[in-house]
Structure 1
Amino acid sequence: MNLEKGLASKYIYITFVIATYWIVSILTVFVNKALLSSKAVDLDAPLFVTWFQCIVSVTICITLRKVSQWFPRYIEIADGSPFRKDILKKVLPLSLLFTGMIATNNLCLKHVGVAFYYVGRSLTTVFNVVFTYILLGQKTSFKCIICCAVIIAGFWLGVDQEQVAGSLSVLGTFFGVLGSLLLSLYSIRVKQTLPAVNDDIWLLSYYNNVYSIVIFIPLMLINGEQTIVYNYDKLEHPFFWGAMTIGGLFGFAIGYFTALQIKVTSPLTHNVSGTAKACAQTVLATYWFNEEKSFLWWMSNIVVLTASAFYARIRQLDLSKEYKIETQQFKV
């Protein structure tokens, strides 16, 4: 009975994490789209926006650490320094992926609509299969490879329909594909890096954002954003900084719940969850922005989602079969 209750509590917790990830992720996309492309903000400096969000995240981490020291009975957060040489060596590779991931995500979102953002970043599962084989040496079944081929076909159909509609952004699509690639690498690397921070999501988020603040500085300078920000006419407006802070709060939340979802499930489950979430996000975006899409455009979304769902099911069965074989060998 206690075992059943424990399993039920575990599944409830996992469901809560996934649902929260969905809500936070969808809201983050809409908030970032407003910051990056809306006329109300009108600031052509996507890397600066992302950099400021990292600053907000670090501020939140430091504040929560102080609160935990004042009220240890109610909140407990581990103490850690991102400037330790051993931590820097272990976490920096992940932080480079983290920086690239959030930068390309925002660059993609700046150039494409929220509705197409899903298809533009739908190759994450495909890249996950490729890098799982290259980096971890894990082979994938032929059925899974077929699913990946269908996902690629759905992606190209979506790109084609964007071009037919005259709304295709080649640059936005490029950043979407690059973002998918970096997300796959990040998902795999998170599992390998968490033990270095005692499986503490808060510390990992703190370290990632501290390192990203530094990494973004040369990127912003190369992109010439310092001049754009200096000449920005709304730099002293409270509305602008309020909107930027809200974006930073969501940026911190999505970073935390992304890592937490990977921790309580797996990189594969996280990628599939992200794909399914993006489908709901697409429907909301077409309704919110009052966009009309063609039948083939919707088919591209359905193809990607269906293939991703089949892939998840096949992988689940494959892993279950592998587990049974290993268990039987252990008994023998």
Structure 2
Amino acid sequence: MATSNWFGLSERSIVGLVVGFYMVTALVMVSVNKWALNTLELPWTLLWIQMVVAVILLKVTQYTGLLKMPQIVTETAKALTPLIAINVIGLGVNTLCLVYVDTSFYQIARGLVLPFTVLFAFVLLRQPSSKLVLTSCFIVFCGFYTGVTSEVNVSRYGILFGVLSSITTSLHAIVIKKSLVHVNNSTLDLVYYNNVLSLVAVTPMIVFSGESAELSHLLSNDGLDAFYKFLFAGLITGIFGFLVNLASFLQISKTSPTTHMIAGAVRGVIQTLLGYWAFNDIITSGRVLGIFLILGGGALYTWAKDKEMAAKNAESPTYIPMTQQDVDGDEEEIDDDDHKA
């Protein structure tokens, strides 16, 4: 069996390690986020802590010589305003969704990412979709509808923030494509600008949302124990948020988009079970069916896109492979909850 330069491991072992790394980091990210928000409902403060950790880790990679970060240029920062706005709004509604819904219902609340992605690709980019892709979107919508209508006590705010999160996640890919030109098509530079500028944008939200006053009241009224737990959770999710990005990149580069989607589906099932065991979430038959339909529709979409890419590659050998093209566009947005959870 062929080996790789990863300490002499076989290709199969590397794929297994990469997929496992992705699933563990993504599960820890969502679970610790929920634990932090159960401790203190301070979503903007939690996001701020996570972004501080991300920026520090990026700086550490620069100082150790692993990566080179760009200098912040005012003109470039202004040009990236739409990206920062959609990123901050997306992170905000994503975290607020997690405040109002159970961990097991989180995937259903944010289940419309795929239909919105296909819709915006058609409306904004004039990219038509095949019947099979449209069928997969319909299946996903049925899963969302089934999951939402089967719940009796689900928060309407949770569903609203979940739908808004789906919209911002879908728009994020389009904005990223248009933003890359401002950083000479450097993904690393865009990641650095995005983290630093988003940190700046989130900071006043802590004041405007009233969380700064709540923090002040908490720290002056013997609430240190709860705050320390919350701070610890924020640090952990900041580290794992950074690792999720790395894990997602490694998984896509070492496997295929189909494998990436299957891993995401398995993660969704484990996340549901984890919510049941760790947070005493209620698992209803409607919730299970909704999750199954959403994951099934996503898997069908990935398979359909994989077939389309294979057909185009056969017609034109110079066509960019799916692992490079679609990950920058449609496919990345299906899994963007790993990055924002």
Deviates more, 1:142-151 or 1:261-270: 261-270
Contact 2:90–2:168 (CA<8 Å) still a contact in 1? yes
C-alpha separation between the residues in 1 aligned to 2:61 and 2:290? 43
Give the one of 95, 98, 103 matched to 1:114: 103
Kindly provide the CA deviation profile for residues 261-313 of structure 1, in whole angstroms up to 9, marking residues without a partner as x.
67778999867754553233112222333444232321111122112211211
Structure 2 residue runs of 5 or longer lacking an equivalent are 320-341
Alignment check: 8 A CA contact 1:197 1:203 kept:
yes
Contact 2:261 2:299 in 1 (8 A): no
User: Residue 30 of structure 1 contacts residue 114 of structure 1 at CA under 8 Å; is this kept in 2?
Assistant: yes
Q: Specify which of 253, 259, 262 is matched with residue 243 of structure 2.
A: 253
Q: Over residues 101-137 of structure 1, what are the superposed CA-to-partner deviations in whole Å (9 max), with x where a residue is unaligned?
A: 2222211111100000011111111111112223332
- Counterparts of 2:112 and 2:75 in 1: how far apart (Å)? 34
Which 4+ stretches in 1 moved above 6 angstroms? 8-15, 262-272
| AA in 1 matched with 2:285 | F
CA distance in 1, matches of 2:257, 2:170: 8
Q: Percent identity?
A: 29
1:246 partner amino acid: I
Q: Does 1:64 align with 2:53?
A: no
Distance 2:46 2:193 in 1: 19
Question: CA separation in 1, counterparts of 2:129 and 2:172?
Answer: 19
Structure 1 residues 85 and 320, CA gap change in structure 2 (3 angstroms): same
Given that 2:100 and 2:155 are in contact with CA atoms closer than 8 Å, whether structure 1 keeps it comes out as yes
Provide the aligned C-alpha RMSD in A: 3.4
Matches within 5 A, 1:78-89: 78-81=68-71, 83-89=72-78
TM-score (norm 2): 0.78
> 2: distance between equivalents of 1:184 and 1:269?
21
Whether 2:42 is the aligned partner of 1:45: answer yes
Range 209-218 or range 89-98, more displaced: 89-98
Letter in 1 for 2:199: I
Choose which of 285, 291, 316 in structure 2 pairs with 1:295. Answer: 285
The code of the aligned residue for 1:208 comes to: N
1:153 matched to 2:138? The reply is: no
Q: Distance in 2 between matches of 1:313 and 1:242?
A: 40
Once the two structures are overlaid, the 10-residue window that deviates more, 194-203 or 56-65, is 194-203
Instruction: Give the residue type in structure 2 aligned to 1:30.
Output: S
Partner of 1:311: 301
TM-score after normalising by structure 1: 0.80
**Alignment of 1:173 onto 2:159:** yes
Once residues 101 and 268 of structure 2 are traced to their aligned partners in structure 1, the CA distance between those partners, rounded to angstroms, is 14
Instruction: Report the counterpart of residue 182 of structure 1 in structure 2.
Output: 168
Residue 154 and residue 286 in structure 1: after superposition, are their counterparts in 2 closer, same or farther (change >3 A)?
A: same
SS in 2 for 1:57: helix
Aligned residue-pair number: 312
Instruction: Quote the offset at 1:17 in angstroms.
Output: 4.5
2:35 is matched with 34
Deviation of residue 244 (structure 1)? Answer: 2.7
